[in-house]
Amino acid sequence: MDTSSSPPPVGPRVDPTLLTVTRAGGRTVSLTFDDGPTARYTPQLLAVLARDRVVATFCEIGQQAQAQPALVRRVTAAGHRLCDHTITHDPTIGSHTSSVMDQQLRASRDVLVAASGGAPVDYFRAPDGNWTPALLRRSAQAGMQPLGWTIDTRDWTRSGTAAIVNSVEAHIRPGAVVLFHDGGGPRDQTVAAVTQLIPWLRSQGYTFVFPS
């Protein structure tokens, strides 16, 4: 039985509209990384971001965060933001009952808060971008902004560093939210692409911001 009338997880109410561009306005861009943290690639990306003084949003899977709590703390200590990406990266979460969605969102958010030492979890991103109206509503009622993207680099296909770079250069526009991955498989191409893209984006007049 659907329990859509059950109370959602406790949290401030936010706009349930899917955020696919930054709210900062102007020539801004937001970098986001999914499916981490991972022991090999998250530190490499953190080093690149720190060197170039860039902020980013890390959409982390609860099970990954449980396995790598020190990396979650490193992410937030470096000034980046956290995004809930469910406990197990279940792409069908939006088709479950409201009570199951609430449990999933609450569990993964609580893991991230605990692992980070109390950092807020500002966003929720549906696995594979499989949004439903109910999932948008429940994540917003949980106090997490539903977060989409403007540019999917498809780095998970391992199409090559040049292809990842080209996907951003060809589709960049003011306010773009760019989807990369620091987990889910080998991400050496992503690290190389981000290393190249940051100075290029700056040369085009872009500044790096959080989605909202």
Q: Is 152 a catalytic residue?
A: no
Q: Is 34 a catalytic residue?
A: yes
- Indicate which residue of 34, 35, 102, 182 is catalytic: 34
- Indicate which residue of 84, 96, 181, 182 is catalytic: 181
Of the candidates 202, 169, 150, which has an alpha carbon nearest to the alpha carbon of residue 23? Answer: 150
Distance CA 32, CA 165 (A): 15
**Helix ranges restricted to H, the chain:** 41-52, 62-67, 69-77, 98-116, 133-141, 161-171, 188-203
- Exposed e or buried b per residue across 34-50, where buried means at least 16 C-beta atoms within 10 angstroms of its C-beta: bbbbbeebbbbbbebbe
By annotation, the residues acting in catalysis are: 34, 181
